Structure 1
Amino acid sequence: MTLPATLAQPTSYQHTTDLKALQPQLEALVTEITASALSVEAMRQSFSASLEEAASVLRSVPVHEGRLLERGIDLLAACNPDLVVLTENIRLPLTPTAMQLVEHNEVHLYRGLTLDADTGGRKSYTPDHLIINRLTGIAHMVDVKRSLTSYEASRIADLKNRMLASALVVPDHVYKGHHRLLVKEVRVVILNAHGGRTDIKGGIWPLSHLDHLLEVTGAGEVLLSLRKLFRERIDANWVAARSPITASGIDSSASTTALQDVAVDAGDEDGSVKRLTDAGDEDAVALEDLPPVIVGFAQVPAAGPH
């Protein structure tokens, strides 16, 4: 009997990570991320100032959590020396032609196309990571979301289409801008930190599947531990910051879950600007003289040793 992808036997990779060994780095990363706006003193000052200031702290939690997860992925990717991880200067043109190709055609009709990354357009898309394996030529385009709970189906579909359309220029972009690095296949994936809304075959993965993207056994477990450590630190800071205010009449029974359930997606706090921005006015698309590229969703490997 074949098990579903979510229940399949875990794949073992050549590269591994040790949660215990990385614990000091994880704690240091959490400390760095929470040192300013989410420190005890910053929270205490905001609670003493006004309701608007306190609400601003609450809204910033998902944003900082999103940044933490991105930094955590960078840290774990370093465990695999075959990977090149790009997080800067990956603003990819999103032309009407590319969007029409994706929206009106089956994948097999455009998966062999490589579009010119220098072609302008009114819009662009910037992924959180481009993770490229130099040995296989496979690139994973990753968009990290704290939660997809507030996303309607049409909004998720639009995000997937933008990712697939911009994936068509990735080989040209990487070849020209990153030391002629060759990409043969681009796989798009949305990492949903909340984990409650996943579609493995459709490119929406939980954090636990990070092993497959990085080809590092244990990477997903470490990232989940990093997220847990962050939440524990925020809860502790919240309690410490709230304590001296209780005597002034603020209800000390307020639940810390308010910090955990703010309905702001970390990827969207700046997503409307970062991922869909104005660029040039050109929308012509040129084919680059590079090998055909395969575009599609991320894939879970078959069970067994890697």
Structure 2
Amino acid sequence: MRKHFAFVLALICLAGCQSQENSTPEPKTGESGYTINYPIPVAATVGMVADLVKNVGQEYVDVHQIMGSGVDPHMHKASRDDVVTIMNSDIVFYSGLMLEGKMTDTLIKVSRNKPVFAVTELIDEKTLLEPEDFHGHYDPHVWMDVSAWAQCVDAVKDALIKYDPKHADVYENNAKAYKQQLEQLHEYGQKTLKTIPEDSRTLITSHDAFNYFGRAYGLDVQGVQGISTESEAGLKRINELVDLLVKKKIKAVFVESSVSKKNITALIEGARAQGHQIVIGGELFSDAMGEPGTYEGTYIGMLDHNMTTVARALGGTAPEKGMQDKLTH
């Protein structure tokens, strides 16, 4: 652990020196006192956070995402490239609530030298879930409830305004427009998932990333693993879920893009051994969005995909290509 801290600190010093040597000519000193280069170089840990910053900052930010599609943020450790990316940025945004568990030490150290913001810091605590098995901490998967994640827009807006007050009006307007889009997405989720028959409203996935999703859209959510993918799924838990699948005659379970499929495969095989056939209803995005450059590689596309996929697989009614007719799979 000490070697890792020393490595991080050495890179911080090195990256700081490099950023001074390679800075863009004729930087402007803003009202905030920061030396500002446009577009502002920003580091964001996960895709959902990066997408927030892109929508609020738009042409005034250049966002560098640290963890790509398919990367599990619970398990990710800061690499040499990650630290260089962070140190070459002027502002850093992360989700918080322990999502980036193994990167937290790095983010704390970086915050001593530059602005670092957790986008979940303004969320009303009454909105947050605190599962019994998560050691007194909040469930970090807030983005699964669009109405809750929309509260993070203001955290990004306020941070950008604090850093770059010259463009406060732009950030205010961008944030307002984006929150309107999120409101439409939330309403789509409520309407679409409501069409699932009452006796089929059980969502079983690889790990407990969908508790906010279930609360917001009226589903009973069950994960094989716990909140963090570090937790191991025991045989007892798998047997409990197999019994549930058979008892309720659930027809579909779901895999996740950033989590191993082995536990879901075990559920399917266990149910089959009891004479009940289960199918994989689709792959859901949990801790990471889709590929960059795709609709599913945006936050709205990610949730549109999840809402549409779950509704159709569990017997509800939803457009094949989703809310905006843009889904690619």
TM-score of the pair, normalised by structure 1: 0.30
TM-score of the pair, normalised by structure 2: 0.28
